[in-house]
């Protein structure tokens, strides 16, 4: 049980597929303009990633290894993922035309999403069994969806900010993505930079409302939109600190 819990926490918060491993950057930047599209893409990737990991694990251990065809791994895995994406595209087009239009070209591009292929190969390299592989795929997909949702929330907030003209669009998005990477990779150091007396007070001093504070604020806004902005920041800081401490127990 602890093994599966460790896999889940590590894949989502510690070794996030986007912010820590830099996989799946294409849909991360392309489908993160709206929160609804980001969540839809996350759900599609979760379905494909979980099913692809399960099928490729069976193919690897049932066909490639017994027949000495390990060198065909990458090609076979891509073919399996392409077939699953084609099936998913047909299903979404039938049951959710609006989501199909919103995802656009990025839906068939799941075939070449290195995050899906990367997870399928990683579970083989790490020697995971089928159960651990499925749990790892689901947790990684949740981490991918979390990354998209947080980044989409930030980009929606950026539309309300007076950003200098040369920085609008992709430039400011790339800067925010780099900051998110730093937060995910160095959350313990970031938490230590905030004096503890400010995490529980009603008013946070202006000097602590930096980029990290804005990230905590946006993260909590997505979960508790009814709170006062200062409360949102403080609750987000405490929540993220708890997650960082919890995840640190498994690293």
Average pLDDT over residues 19-24: 87
What mean pLDDT comes out for the span 144-164? 83
Between 84 and 104, whose confidence is greater? 84
Q: How confident is the model at residue 141 (pLDDT cuts 50, 70, 90)?
A: very high
The percent of residues in the chain predicted with pLDDT above 90, rounded, is 26
Residue 223 pLDDT grade (very low, low, confident, very high; cuts 50, 70, 90): very low
d(CA 152, CA 38) in angstroms, rounded, equals 7
Q: Supply the pTM of this predicted model.
A: 0.72
Mean pLDDT of 37-50: 88
Distances in Å between the alpha carbon of 195 and those of 98, 141, 188? 46, 34, 13
Q: Which residue has the higher pLDDT, 110 or 50?
A: 50
Supply the pLDDT for residue 217.
53
Residue 81 and residue 47 in contact, taking contact as beta carbons nearer than 8 Å: no
Span 108-136, pLDDT tens digits:
878 778 899 999 999 999 999 999 999 99
Tokens of 245: 């401490």
């Amino acid at each position: 049980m602890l093994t599966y819990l460790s896999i889940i926490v590590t894949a989502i918060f510690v070794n996030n597929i986007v912010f820590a491993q830099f996989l799946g950057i294409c849909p991360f930047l392309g489908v993160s303009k709206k929160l609804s599209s980001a969540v839809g893409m996350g759900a599609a990737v979760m379905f494909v990633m979980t099913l692809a990991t399960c099928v490729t694990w069976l193919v690897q251990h049932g066909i490639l290894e017994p027949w000495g065809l390990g060198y065909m791994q990458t090609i076979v895995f891509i073919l399996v993922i392409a077939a699953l994406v084609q099936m998913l595209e047909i299903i979404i087009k039938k049951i959710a035309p609006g989501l199909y239009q919103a995802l656009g070209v990025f839906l068939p591009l799941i075939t070449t999403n290195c995050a899906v292929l990367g997870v399928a190969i990683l579970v083989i390299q790490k020697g995971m069994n089928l159960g651990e592989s499925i749990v790892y795929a689901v947790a990684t997909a949740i981490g991918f969806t979390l990354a998209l949702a947080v980044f989409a929330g930030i980009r929606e907030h950026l539309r309300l900010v007076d950003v200098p003209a040369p920085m609008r669009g992709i430039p400011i998005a790339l800067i925010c993505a780099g900051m998110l990477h730093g937060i995910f990779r160095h959350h313990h150091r970031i938490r230590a930079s905030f004096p503890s007396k400010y995490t529980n007070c009603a008013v946070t001093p202006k000097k602590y409302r930096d980029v990290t504070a804005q990230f905590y604020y946006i993260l909590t806004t997505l979960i508790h939109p009814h709170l006062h902005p200062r409360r949102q920041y403080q609750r987000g800081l405490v929540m993220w600190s708890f997650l960082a401490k919890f995840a640190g127990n498994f690293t």
